[in-house]
């Protein structure tokens, strides 16, 4: 190769080397500047999120349970006769209100009246003989044994008279208590026996409604709890009463227990056997509660953000009852925790937060 060509090649290589060096310097400067910027960015702390919080609370909560039931008359009987006989008079109308002791039915009574008259006559006769014997006994004309015999006969006559009068009274069928008479099942002239149902009598001044509720409520159901009942017959009316009886057993098949409530019914609007929709308010003990706005619902689960050492900590919780903007927490949170109520949408687990205490009655936030 000629000297000229060698010089030319050296010059080209020198120029290329110089250009490469310049390019590397520019790249290194650019890369170093980027790393510095990144370092500055990493060194800069993200500002704390401003949030409002409320402390976990304790409150007595009520549970409202819905059920269906049937009305039962406060007192209810089937009117039957205490003896066989033929109906002579019917002294009631279906649906009539009667007082205790009112006559409802008269049976034929001729034989019983005759027996009572005969028994009274026998008593009078023996009474007279005894009086005479006592006077003669004083004169020692009649023996003491005769006086004793007549005394025993008088006692027997009085007992027979009492039985006769009772049988005569049984020919009149009376109302055993005040109430409303049901349908008439017999007619005048019909012969009845002791098993014949003449009518029914219900005391509807107040009625009872019986229903069942789940066994999970057995521990908080109490006599005196308020019950509201509705029926399709009176769609605009609410019948309010109190629980008066709670069954001592749980039904093994239904896992429920029976409850009875008393409903005032002065106007007789509710008959026995009516279907009722029942709502009962149950008050339990104190429970842990948080504002409902603090709850995050996600994929069928519930979460809250709890503030600990100026950091937001996401917690999964189990919810219970809800009422008036609060919700019961069954598990997953400490009793002294602070839960975030506002600023939730900006939070992630572990973020720094700055607390602003929420005012009472704060509305829902995001």
pLDDT digits (tens, 9 = 90+) for 232-286: 999 999 999 999 999 999 999 999 999 999 999 988 899 999 999 999 887 766 7
User: Per the domain annotation, does 274 fall within a domain?
Assistant: yes
Q: At what angle do helices 110-138 and 144-169 cross, to 10 degrees?
A: 160
The 10s digit of each residue's pLDDT in 311-351 is 889 999 988 777 778 888 888 888 888 999 998 888 899 88
CATH number at residue 142: 1.10.287.470
- Are 215 and 272 in a shared domain? yes
Q: Is residue 84 helix, strand or coil?
A: coil
Question: What pLDDT score was predicted for residue 48?
Answer: 86
Helix H or strand E encompassing 117? helix 110-138
Asked if 211 and 275 sit in the same domain, the reply is: yes
For residue 37, the model assigns a pLDDT of: 43
Residue 12's pLDDT band (boundaries 50, 70, 90)? low
In a domain, 147, yes or no: yes
Same domain for 271 and 238: yes
CATH number at residue 317: 2.40.420.20
* Sign, Cα dihedral of 172, 177, 178, 184: negative
Number of domains comprising the chain: 3
Question: Are residue 257 and residue 318 in the same domain, yes or no?
Answer: no
State how far the Cα of 365 lies from the Cα of 362, in Å rounded to an integer: 8
Residue 244 falls within a domain, yes or no? yes
Give the global pTM: 0.57
User: Does one domain contain both 264 and 296?
Assistant: no
Indicate whether 342 and 303 sit together in one domain. Answer: yes
Find the radius of gyration of the CA atoms of the chain.
48
Return mean pLDDT, the chain. 84
Do 318 and 272 sit in the same domain of this protein?
no
Average pLDDT over residues 151-177: 92
Residue 99 lies in a domain: no
Q: What is the CATH number of the domain that holds 254?
A: 2.40.30.170
Of the three residues 248, 264, 284, the one that is the final residue of a domain is 284
Does some domain include residue 341? yes
Please report the pLDDT score of residue 106 as a whole number: 94
In the listed set 258, 284, 310, which residue is the last one of a domain according to the structure? 284
Query: What percentage of the chain has pLDDT greater than the value 70?
Result: 84
Is there a single domain that holds both residue 218 and residue 268? yes
* Residue 284 near residue 328, CB atoms below 8 Å: no
pLDDT of residue 107: 94
Domain ranges, residue 307? 49-61+286-357
Of 284, 319, 343, which residue is a domain's last? 284
């Amino acid at each position: 190769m000629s000297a000229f060509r060698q010089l030319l090649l050296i010059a080209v290589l020198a120029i290329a080397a110089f250009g490469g060096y310049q390019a590397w310097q520019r790249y290194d400067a650019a890369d170093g500047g980027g790393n510095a910027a990144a370092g500055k960015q990493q060194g800069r702390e993200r500002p704390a999120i401003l949030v409002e919080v409320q402390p976990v609370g304790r409150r007595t909560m009520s549970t409202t349970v819905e059920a269906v039931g049937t009305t039962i008359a406060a007192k209810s009987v089937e009117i039957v006769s205490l003896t066989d006989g033929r109906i002579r008079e019917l002294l009631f109308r279906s649906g009539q209100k009667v007082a205790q002791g009112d006559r409802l039915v008269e049976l034929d009574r001729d034989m019983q009246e005759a027996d009572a008259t005969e028994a009274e006559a026998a008593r009078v006769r023996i009474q007279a003989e005894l009086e005479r014997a006592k006077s003669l006994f004083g004169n020692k004309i009649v023996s003491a044994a005769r006086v004793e015999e007549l005394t025993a006969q008088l006692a027997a006559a009085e007992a027979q008279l009492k039985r006769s009068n009772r049988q005569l009274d049984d020919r009149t069928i009376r109302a055993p208590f005040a109430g409303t008479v049901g349908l008439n099942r017999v007619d005048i002239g019909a012969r009845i026996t002791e098993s014949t149902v003449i009518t029914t009598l219900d005391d509807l001044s107040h009625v009872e409604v019986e229903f069942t509720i789940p066994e999970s409520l057995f521990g908080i159901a109490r006599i005196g709890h308020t019950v509201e009942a509705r029926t399709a017959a009176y769609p605009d009316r609410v019948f309010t009463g109190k629980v008066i009886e709670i069954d001592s057993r749980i039904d093994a098949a239904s896992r429920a227990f029976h409850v009875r409530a008393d409903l005032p019914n002065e106007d007789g609007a509710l008959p026995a056997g009516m279907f009722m929709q029942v709502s009962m308010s149950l008050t339990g003990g104190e429970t842990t509660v948080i504002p409902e706005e603090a709850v995050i619902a996600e994929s069928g689960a519930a979460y809250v953000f709890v503030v600990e050492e100026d950091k937001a900590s996401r917690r999964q919780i189990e919810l219970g009852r809800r009422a008036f903007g609060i919700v019961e927490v069954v598990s997953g949170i400490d009793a002294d925790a602070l839960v975030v109520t506002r600023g939730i949408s900006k939070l992630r687990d572990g973020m720094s937060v700055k607390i602003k205490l929420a005012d009472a009655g704060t509305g829902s936030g995001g």
